Structure 1
């Protein structure tokens, strides 16, 4: 987890090291169902044929508008910004309390000075185990061009519980190791044979490459 050695940052080493003892009592969890993942895949470019290669069932992509799948209830935030465009993204998340019945989690944000992040509400109060609360993360900033990956994090804290979610903003740079337009990545849509080169960064065509 050294940014000096791995330019892909979170896209290479993930969210960080796991703490096994804390993992059995996380406090908050981000629930996502099978239907949520299907909707995410459809929004990011899968069609019914390619979707069924993943699900192995009769799932379909119908009446789904292509987009970035930002609202998959996943414990991370990844914002791709086209070269020369302003930083702007809104993410909706829901957490479920699996810790103490009466608990209040307060958010804190660590980000580079390049952009700003607003969490609303910034405090989540629970009165029961299994209770759900939603929040919105808004990321804003100036126009960026040829900008390497910028990393940050949002952390919710209550007592011994520290729930950290990584946040990255990145810009497409021609010729960079995560250039997914060079034909080196696997395309299910075009039925190309998988090759294992390039970065794991999601790009606008919704297809993922692997190191």
Structure 2
């Protein structure tokens, strides 16, 4: 799909953000590459995977939601932070192909202050998806002032564990 045309004014006032910190990324590196990968990337030998939670790719609090493409339901959680007006309400709007069933819970996020965080779940299942390479749609959180869009991608054979690592 691509990123489209950049609008700096809208980028400076996104409404909601998906927070990710160093610990999240380091935990993902641990899940994916282990201690050796963490040391290579972070270049800090005092930081070890034993001190960090393992964070699978589907668990990263990314705006893009990637899930396995399969008939049974798969659920992920995301957390957004309100960086817009203190009193804001967002309604979930889905734009999905018919081959995917998606449920967002809750489907309404009500914020009473700036900096407030809300967590929601996205449950995805596919029907008649055997043989497809991937299926793509989107979730938009819509307020009176903002539209915060997240791509949802369902991919066949998404690994449950990271690729094998050489010692």
Q: Shared fold (TM-score greater than 0.5)? A: yes
After superposition, give the CA deviation of every residue in 1:142-194 in whole Å (9 maximum; x if it has no partner).
Answer: 3633212211000001122110000111225xxxxxxxxxxxxxxxxxxxxxx
After superposition, give the CA deviation of every residue in 1:113-160 in whole Å (9 maximum; x if it has no partner).
Answer: 111111100000011111111111111123633212211000001122
After superposition, give the CA deviation of every residue in 1:79-124 in whole Å (9 maximum; x if it has no partner).
Answer: 234xxx5353211111111110111011101111111111100000
After TM superposition, the score normalised by the length of structure 2 is 0.85
Whether 1:80 and 2:68 are equivalent positions in the alignment is yes
- List gaps (5 residues or longer) in structure 1: 2-12, 173-201
After TM superposition, the score normalised by the length of structure 1 is 0.68
- Conserved in 2, the CA contact under 8 Å of 1:46 and 1:61? no
Paired residues in the alignment total: 162
Whether 1:46 and 2:50 are equivalent positions in the alignment is no
Whether 1:18 and 2:6 are equivalent positions in the alignment is yes
Instruction: Give the aligned CA root-mean-square deviation in angstroms.
Output: 2.4
Question: Relative CO higher for 1 or 2, CA cutoff 8 Å, sep ≥ 6?
Answer: 2
Which runs of at least 4 in structure 1 moved beyond 4 Å after TM superposition? 63-67, 202-205
- Conserved in 1, the CA contact under 8 Å of 2:27 and 2:54? no
Distance 1:55 1:16, change over 3 A: farther
Aligned to 2:42: 55
- List gaps (5 residues or longer) in structure 2: none
